[in-house]
Structure 1
């Protein structure tokens, strides 16, 4: 069985622990991290918009002048993703593969889960109470569209049952 583990900053340890507890030892485990291309792209665009502007007369360029800040943001993102995947593999403590993707996060996760036997992800919304708001929009999309079974975990102990909303009023009988 192929198990895809969607790793997100802040909640990934719970996903790795869930695999250790629930996935058979013979499973092929794939650690997945997805980066949105948006932030470096915005920086590239802002920098490109500044290129045509002249500098004041006599101005000496500062260190790094003329360097696109989007490049630095891309480098930081790659380093961060690689470090997260390394830490997750170490915590898992068994053979696994690492997969980095870039794009619309929710769509990349669903695509990566094609043909998998299980997708593991953590709740990423309001985790102070039980209910549908414990899933943010990307996770809700993934849960609704996953092409395989999903194991949804709490990144910390689940809230108490007293956090359940009250039941709806009874319907009138006609």
Structure 2
């Protein structure tokens, strides 16, 4: 069984725990992290446009890229340690939602955490990236709460009755 766990800063422990709880017999676990190059691109652009073009060694975009790479490596190492079993670690770059969907091709299960408003139940608990992945994943999806789920009292009220 091939399981992909999409790991994002702040919610990755819940995904790793879900793999351990719901797919303990998986023989191929992939811990996936996606870095968006647009973040460092902002630093490069700001430097080129505003801070001067003659000092390439001072480009903050370079430092942002290096910092992002170190952070992703540390996150994947921590996740592998928490999983406590065999896994592969994959770092991809690009639009997160598209990279996750592409990585899930051929998988038996994709695990991801809610990334929106987690204070109440409902569709707003999914941000745009997770919504895209849930809607387009080419395999079954296990969607987890990064912390205990909100109380059922947070459900929105039912729609008013329809009268003809």
Contact 2:3 2:26 in 1 (8 A): no
What is the aligned counterpart of 1:81 among 42, 53, 72?
Answer: 72
1:6 correspondence with 2:9: no
* TM, length-normalised to structure 2: 0.94
Q: How many residues end up aligned between the 2 structures? A: 162
Larger C-alpha radius of gyration, 1 or 2?
1
- Give the C-alpha shift of residue 65 in structure 1: 8.0
Which digits, 9 at most, give the CA deviation of each residue in 1:87-131, with x for residues without a partner?
Answer: 000000000000000000100000000110000000011111100
Higher helix share: 2
Counterpart for residue 51 of structure 1 = 53
Misfit runs of 4+, over 4 Å: none
Counterpart Cα distance in 2 of 1:158 and 1:89: 25
1:23 correspondence with 2:23: yes
Counterpart Cα distance in 1 of 2:69 and 2:90: 12
Unpaired segments of 5 or more residues in structure 2? none
- Give the C-alpha shift of residue 74 in structure 1: 0.5
Matching of residues 126-165 of structure 1 within 5 Å? 126-165=117-156
Unpaired segments of 5 or more residues in structure 1? 53-63
